[in-house]
Amino acid sequence: MSAPARVLVVDDSPTMRGLITAVLSSDPEVNVIGQAGDALEAREAIKRLNPDVVTLDIEMPNMNGLDFLEKIMTLRPMPVIMVSTMTHRGAEATLAALEIGAFDCVGKPGPGEPRPFGDLAEKVKAAARTQRQFSQPAAAVTPPPSVAEFRVGRKIVAIGSSTGGVEALIAVLQKFPANCPPTVITQHMPPTFTKSFAERLNRLCAPVVQEATDGARLEIGKIYLAPGGERHLQVSGGSAPCCRLVDRAPVNGHRPSVDVLFDSVAELAGRNAVGVILTGMGRDGAAGLLKMRHAGARTLGQNEKTCVVYGMPRVAHELGAVEQQLPLTAIGEEILKLTAARKEGTE
């Protein structure tokens, strides 16, 4: 057995610090080695204790969590998990933190929540294991092709991601032109966060990005992000495909689930689809991607070197679901190659 993950808990609320500590300490593979009430205390504790992982509140006195995270990533890069309120403001700040380089995020629990902080311990252990170089500079973004340069075919794109997916999806979707193929995405994310994330992607990318709604028609130039929490995203509709939000139990511990989305794309589109699995913990999406490949779809997986967590792509690769493994910087362009119309007409 490897040594327990050593964690520093940073939150201005003594009650919240105690709750996070209790949740993490219930896992024998996690060791909470210290607590801090603000950024100044946290800075000294990091120097003194050298933790493997830090959990960091966003709203704190003296210096907020975003400013402190930037200092950590600049001066002493390490895995940081953000702890945020489940509000629109909290979601916006958390998404900014994930872009800065936070490993993942969890929402603060509401009153009477039966399982506060969900899979925080698993995220901490994954963060402690990761070999990611947090100090790597972000790659320069090349501009997407113009509408005139890209002739879209008839394929649907389906993307699944989890831990590290915020940065990964931005990197992929910023390569898409305004007339990109219809694209559906399931990203594991707390409820209320997906609406803010869709709005953020819409500002950063050339196509229209929106949170998926039940019955929304899949259209060229539009990207649909599964809402977090209550339902799964599927596609259906034969010759007039649309989004469907369905009530089902969690699959692989997730709702929405990447497998549910990929299964529906395999059944609806078959060879007229491209499936992509990006960074993430666990195995959600691997079986669905294999089903897509068996149905004739083209399938891509993010390679180990560029993943924050090489979990979902690894399992998909081992199952034989991934046709090509590529670095993150190459995935967007490869999707466009696979979905472009042929010169003599559309695919």
| Catalytic residue ranges | 162, 188, 284
Report the relative pairing of strands 242-246 and 232-236 from DSSP bridges. Answer: antiparallel
Q: Which residues of 64-88 are buried (b: 16+ CB within 10 A; e: fewer)?
A: ebbebbeebbeeeebbbbbbbbbee
Residue whose C-alpha is closest to residue 163's, from 311, 84, 253, 281: 281
Q: H-helix or E-strand containing 219?
A: none
Verify cis geometry, omega within 30 degrees of 0, for the bond prior to 14.
Answer: no
Residue whose C-alpha is closest to residue 307's, from 273, 280, 342, 269: 280
Residue whose C-alpha is closest to residue 42's, from 76, 86, 15, 4: 76
Contact 69, 134 (CB under 8 A): no
Report the relative pairing of strands 80-84 and 53-57 from DSSP bridges. Answer: parallel
Residues listed for the chain: 347
Which residues make Cβ contacts (< 8 Å) with residue 276, sequence separation at least 6?
Answer: 157, 158, 159, 160, 172, 299, 300, 301, 331, 335
**251, β-bridge pairs:** 254
CA dihedral defined by 260, 266, 268, 271, rounded to 10 degrees?
160
Return the number of other C-beta atoms located less than 10 Å from residue 127's C-beta: 26
Residue whose C-alpha is closest to residue 161's, from 64, 280, 40: 280
Structure tokens at 66: 């975003």
